[in-house]
Amino acid sequence: MIGKTRRKRTWFVAAVLASGSLFATALPAHAETGVTSSEIKLGITLPLTGAASPGYNKIGNAMNAYFKYVNDNGGVYGRKITLIQKNDEYSPQLSIAKTNELILKDKVFALVGPLGTANFTAVHKSVGIARRGVPSLFLNTGFSGFANKKAYPTSFTILPSYAMEAKIAAQFLKENFAGKKLGLVYQNDEFGIDALGAFKAAGVKFDVSVPYTSGTQGSATAQTWVSQLAAGGAQVVVFFGVTSATAALLGVAAAAKYAPQWVLGSVGSDPLILRALGVPVAVLNGALTLSGNPSPNDTSDEYVKQFQEINTKYNPGVAFDDYVLQGMNVGLMTVQALRAAGSNLTRKGLIRAMETKGSTFASVAYSPLGYSKTSNVGHTGYYMAVMDATGDRKPYGGSAVVYTTDSGSGPVVKSTFKRPAMPAKGLPTNS
Amino acid sequence: MRNFKFKRSLTLVAVSSLLSLTVVSIPTAARAADPACTTANFVTSCVGVTSDTAPYSMMVPANFNGTVYLYSHGYRPNVPVPAGIPGYGGYTVTNTPQPGPNATVIGALLAKGYGVVGSGFARQGWNADSAIKTNVELVGLFKKQFSKTTKVVAWGESLGGFITQALAEKHPDLFKAAAPLCMASDVTPLMTMAGDALWGIKTFFDPSIKGGNYSAGAAGYAEAMGDLVKVFTAIGALQAAMVANASTPAWPATSKVPDAIKAIPSRSALVMVALMSGVPLQSAHFDGASGAAAMGSQITSFQIAINPAFAALENLANAAALAVLATHDLELQAGGPVFDNTATDYAARIADEQFIWSSALSGVSGTQGLLSVLAASPRAKADPAALAKMKALASHTGKVEIPTILFTGVADPVTVAGNQQSVADKYAAYYADKWAAAKKAGERKRPVNKQLVLWNFTPDKYTKFNGITPDTSVPAATGTNHCNFTTTQYLAIADLLAYAADNGVNMSGGALLTKLRKAGNMTYDRGYSAPKMKYYGN
């Protein structure tokens, strides 16, 4: 009896081992959260509704369009990318909840392009992004605080910081508007603080300075901004805020026939969105703006041309603007990062790939990428552009003169960087 | 920003009662060394007093299976509270024994064959040291009375959670498992949180609030009760101002901050007080995130600037009463003032969060203005001897050798989630050391993890609206308020305790996840870490 039982057990164990090995063969080569043999699951939080949503609500769909294009062309090492978008309504508390959903419920492999400084600060602190080892690629915020690689070891920015932008703007103001009365309207949080610090360090003093609290922008509050600017006699007004606030400012100023030289920060200067929000195109004519990318209308640019084609097919009916361009570009960079991490995809491998190969990625922006083992900083420079009578953006002076700098005390220098070519057909083949 | 004007029915200062007294009363005849027992409906109920005069209650069913649940109740004030004080008004000091969280849970445990036991303790207020002794004696009394007893498990809430964790740490020989719920951690961080909140309310809204350093005897009692009235008067004024104009609510008439500061909406000062003391910005009815569709283009400003301020108001109303009563109590025990913020850097305190809540704080300039008030205001100074005495009270090491189950709401405004997190962190460090030592000794198998940490998360969005007016008549959201658990959750914890007592380890894997899913709003997530409290005393 004992012998019989033992034989049965031996047979059972052998069967389990055999089935186990068969089962193991059928599994993907590895088991990383959000990755199977056929799919890579990614997530993004952004405002799809609410006052801050205009423009930003196009980024996720643009990324998705690019990923669909890649998926239709073989995916990434045979895996198709699925992007899950969560609407955080620009509320940090909701960003926490939605990111928790992405990580715990949807089990995404990585976050790509999460938007908003307060939002990602809240997420990083409360969700424990670094503690969980979740890669957070291409943060859609220019807060220089995220460049602290020790504090944000799994996160990587894409935009030049607000401090870099202000340093480059400061140099431009000094070279072109010396002696003019300067005004500044800025978002009264880390966005504005970054800019204020950089302007101050560069020796630029504003005659009129108007802070506004995020979320309060609207025509009523813009009336007070314009009154202060006009009363102070500001001849050149620099604006560091989101697009909905730019629209309020320009709209009210136009109605009040207050027409200073506008210098718009990169964040809130998309002409298509501004026009959609009611800003007369005549007001935009001559407005200066800092830009890192070519105009979305510049079809002579190989990136723009390719992305426009993808947008037409995979994002039909959606006007191609700065936000769509940015979303597509985040998609392009994401695919390169996934490829660089290899077919045996892991979160650690992705972070390693960003650190070792990220600076070589193709990107639509004209400035170099700063990724390395010690830096999680993305693009590092801007050029000055001017809007024309159609609201289109052209390089100031005829050609894009790109300046690069850092978020600290480093100098502003003219860039000699040569942008990598767009991968053939917009499909990366890097490894 | 548009003015939000709400219906007057919006009521926030309805402080949830922390007092949960059960049905058990002690017959006069039972005040003796031996318990007096009666049997009815197949349940034997005994009452008596321990050697330190703490009344207790034991209940055992006819089909007693040998396992008994020792329950430790939460904080009860050690002074009577006059009528009219929200939440506590009309309270008289009681040491009525409490053998379980509520009658329904007690009934369910008895029906399953378990025994229940609990004390009312010899004194009220912060009584952990004496309550631990009482409970140890009570275990012996129970076993003597019911010789079929084979296993004792401990559980408790709030201060009772503190006591339960201490029992697990100090008396693993007496208990098979323990579950500290919505637990208080050490007294120093708790009293710092209370002190910061009171000092913040005093500084911004009514400098005549003492906030501590109460006189001895009847005079001190009167001062503390006077503070309660003043605190709730200020909170009531803030509530009325926010209902009238949530965008730029007026400051209470009692506020003495400079006029320039009063240009900052008073709601931002509320948010500042919550942040600097560690009170969460999600409350029973305000999720810190929602707006009403009817708000139109103003919805975002409500979501990021006003909703969090309402949450701060509601939570501070919940926490303030306990802060006054506990401060009065601890000062009496320690012999002098125990809150000291002479060296506190409030700017550093909020550095991690000020950009997250920038809109609610009225931007950087609003934040700096409010911080300037804190920096310029007279600070509270503790008596060193009193402080030393308070710090000598029982504290947690986090080192447990019996299975323990921690569970709390992430937006508990009184024993904030950082209390549970601190004990989880201490155990994690202990476990890591233990594992390192084992590896050094050649051991290849990890030691068993004895601590199961569970969280009650809030829903994504839960603020309800009638038009644009927040609806505060609906029940508090799960994960909010103090020790806001359902009967199903209590019973799930009881089941987990029974499993742990039977098996020597906590339930894990699919069985655990199924149990939690069925109970609802109980999450096991090893990657989650609750925000730390603002000060742990080191």
Tell me whether strands A208-212 and A236-240 are parallel, antiparallel or unpaired. Answer: unpaired
Measured distance CA(B292)–CA(B294) in Å, rounded:
5
Nearest of A397, A427, A429, A426 to residue A414 by alpha carbon: A397
Dihedral angle of Cα B440, B446, B449, B450, to the nearest 10 degrees = -70
The percent of residues in chain B predicted with pLDDT above 90, rounded, is 88
Render pLDDT for B170-185 as a digit per residue (tens, 0 to 9): 999 999 999 999 999 9
The percent of residues in chain A predicted with pLDDT above 90, rounded, is 84
Mean confidence (pLDDT) of chain B: 93
Render pLDDT for B25-69 as a digit per residue (tens, 0 to 9): 444 444 446 899 999 999 999 999 999 999 999 999 999 999 999
Residue listed under structure tokens 């695919």: A335
Whether residue B183 contacts residue B162, with contact meaning beta carbons closer than 8 Å, is answered with yes
HSE, CB side, 13 Å, CA atoms: give it for residue B28.
0
Per CB-CB distance under 8 Å, the chain A contacts of B300 are 50-52, 89-91, 215
| Nearest CA distance, A240 vs chain B (angstrom) | 14
Q: Is the dihedral of CA A249, A251, A256, A262 positive or negative?
A: positive
The percent of residues in chain A predicted with pLDDT above 70, rounded, is 93
Measured N-to-C along each axis, helices B217-244 and B307-334 cross at an angle, to the nearest 10 degrees, of: 180
φ, ψ (nearest 5 deg) of residue B431:
-65, -45
Q: Does A211 touch chain B (CB under 8 A)?
A: yes
Domains, chain A: 163-291 (3.40.50.2300)
Domains in chain B: boundaries: 34-77+89-157, 188-390
Render pLDDT for B122-156 as a digit per residue (tens, 0 to 9): 999 999 999 999 999 999 999 999 999 999 999 99
| Nearest CA distance, A115 vs chain B (angstrom) | 13
Q: What pLDDT is stored for residue A100 in this prediction?
A: 94
Is residue B166 scored above 90 in pLDDT?
yes
Q: What pLDDT is stored for residue B18 in this prediction?
A: 36
- For residue B476, what pLDDT band results from cuts at 50, 70 and 90? very high
Per CB-CB distance under 8 Å, the chain B contacts of A221 are 1
Q: What pLDDT is stored for residue B11 in this prediction?
A: 55
With CB atoms and an 8 Å threshold, state whether B289 touches A94. yes
Whether residue A430 contacts residue A357, with contact meaning beta carbons closer than 8 Å, is answered with yes
Among 3.40.50.1820, 3.40.50.2000, 3.30.420.10, 3.40.50.720, name the CATH number for the domain at B34-77+89-157: 3.40.50.1820
Whether residue A214 contacts residue B358, with contact meaning beta carbons closer than 8 Å, is answered with yes
- For residue B112, what pLDDT band results from cuts at 50, 70 and 90? very high
Q: Does B8 touch chain A (CB under 8 A)?
A: no
Strand blocks (E) in B204-293: none
Which pTM value belongs to this model?
0.90
Q: What pLDDT is stored for residue B7 in this prediction?
A: 53
- For residue B3, what pLDDT band results from cuts at 50, 70 and 90? low
On whether ipTM exceeds 0.90, the answer is no
Tokens of A74: 């073989």
Render pLDDT for A213-251 as a digit per residue (tens, 0 to 9): 988 888 899 999 999 999 999 999 999 998 889 999 999
Residue B186 burial class via C-beta count within 10 angstroms: exposed 0-12, middle 13-18, buried 19 and up: buried
Residue in A closest to B292 by C-alpha: A50
DSSP 8-class letter at B304: I
Per CB-CB distance under 8 Å, the chain A contacts of B2 are 218, 220
Amino acid at site B83: A
Between B148 and A10, where is the model more confident?
B148
Is residue A1 scored above 50 in pLDDT?
no
Whether residue B292 contacts residue B468, with contact meaning beta carbons closer than 8 Å, is answered with yes
Across the range B320-345, mean pLDDT stands at: 95
Per CB-CB distance under 8 Å, the chain A contacts of B528 are 128
Report the DSSP beta bridge partners of residue A384. A290
Coil/strand/helix, residue A350: helix
Across the range A47-55, mean pLDDT stands at: 88
- For residue B192, what pLDDT band results from cuts at 50, 70 and 90? very high
Q: What pLDDT is stored for residue A18 in this prediction?
A: 37
φ, ψ (nearest 5 deg) of residue B494:
-60, -40
Render pLDDT for B219-249 as a digit per residue (tens, 0 to 9): 999 999 999 999 999 999 999 999 999 999 9
Coil/strand/helix, residue A320: coil
Q: What pLDDT is stored for residue A21 in this prediction?
A: 36
Mean confidence (pLDDT) of chain A: 91
The percent of residues in chain B predicted with pLDDT above 70, rounded, is 93
Render pLDDT for B204-213 as a digit per residue (tens, 0 to 9): 999 999 999 9
Is residue A17 scored above 50 in pLDDT?
no
Q: What pLDDT is stored for residue A30 in this prediction?
A: 52
Per CB-CB distance under 8 Å, the chain A contacts of B287 are 93
Report the DSSP beta bridge partners of residue A182. A236
Render pLDDT for A363-381 as a digit per residue (tens, 0 to 9): 999 999 999 999 999 999 9
Render pLDDT for A171-220 as a digit per residue (tens, 0 to 9): 999 999 999 999 999 999 988 888 999 999 999 999 999 999 988 888 89
Q: Does A223 touch chain B (CB under 8 A)?
A: no
Q: What pLDDT is stored for residue B5 in this prediction?
A: 60
Whether residue A71 contacts residue A63, with contact meaning beta carbons closer than 8 Å, is answered with no
Is residue A10 scored above 80 in pLDDT?
no
Nearest to B364 among A122, A125, A192 (CB): A192
Out of A125-129, A382-386, B67-71, least confident range: A125-129
Is residue B214 scored above 90 in pLDDT?
yes
With CB atoms and an 8 Å threshold, state whether A92 touches B304. yes
Is residue A285 scored above 70 in pLDDT?
yes
Across the range A89-116, mean pLDDT stands at: 95
Across the range B109-119, mean pLDDT stands at: 98
Name all contacts of B105-111 with Cβ < 8 Å and 24+ positions apart. B105/B487, B105/B490, B105/B491, B105/B494, B106/B22, B106/B59, B108/B487, B108/B491, B108/B494, B109/B69, B109/B494, B110/B43, B110/B59, B110/B60, B110/B61, B111/B61
Nearest of B250, B523, B207 to residue B378 by alpha carbon: B207
- For residue B1, what pLDDT band results from cuts at 50, 70 and 90? low
Q: What pLDDT is stored for residue B126 in this prediction?
A: 96
Is residue A120 scored above 90 in pLDDT?
yes
Across the range B444-471, mean pLDDT stands at: 96
Is residue A76 scored above 60 in pLDDT?
yes
Count of residues making up chain B: 538
Per CB-CB distance under 8 Å, the chain B contacts of A98 are 460
Render pLDDT for A297-345 as a digit per residue (tens, 0 to 9): 999 999 999 999 999 999 999 999 999 999 999 999 999 999 999 999 9
Is residue A2 scored above 50 in pLDDT?
no
- Helix (H) / strand (E) containing B138: helix B128-145
| Nearest CA distance, A312 vs chain B (angstrom) | 31
Out of A1-5, A139-143, B49-53, least confident range: A1-5
Render pLDDT for B399-439 as a digit per residue (tens, 0 to 9): 999 999 999 999 999 999 999 999 999 999 999 999 999 99
Q: Most B CBs within 10 Å: which of A87, A121, A127, A216, as the mutation test of the B interface?
A: A216
DSSP per residue over A152-209, as a string? -TTEEE-SPPHHHHHHHHHHHHHHH-TTS-EEEEEETTHHHHHHHHHHHHTT---SEE
- For residue B8, what pLDDT band results from cuts at 50, 70 and 90? very low
Tell me whether strands A208-212 and A182-187 are parallel, antiparallel or unpaired. Answer: parallel
Residue A26 burial class via C-beta count within 10 angstroms: exposed 0-12, middle 13-18, buried 19 and up: exposed
Measured distance CA(A285)–CA(A126) in Å, rounded:
44
Measured distance CA(B54)–CA(B68) in Å, rounded:
19
Whether residue B100 contacts residue B117, with contact meaning beta carbons closer than 8 Å, is answered with no
Is residue A7 scored above 70 in pLDDT?
no
Strand blocks (E) in B6-135: 36-40, 43-49, 55-61, 67-72, 115-119
Across the range B466-488, mean pLDDT stands at: 96
With CB atoms and an 8 Å threshold, state whether A189 touches B364. yes
Residue A339 neighbours by CB under 8 Å, 6+ apart: A76, A77, A428, A429, A430, A431
- For residue A14, what pLDDT band results from cuts at 50, 70 and 90? very low
Per CB-CB distance under 8 Å, the chain A contacts of B370 are none
Q: What pLDDT is stored for residue A391 in this prediction?
A: 86
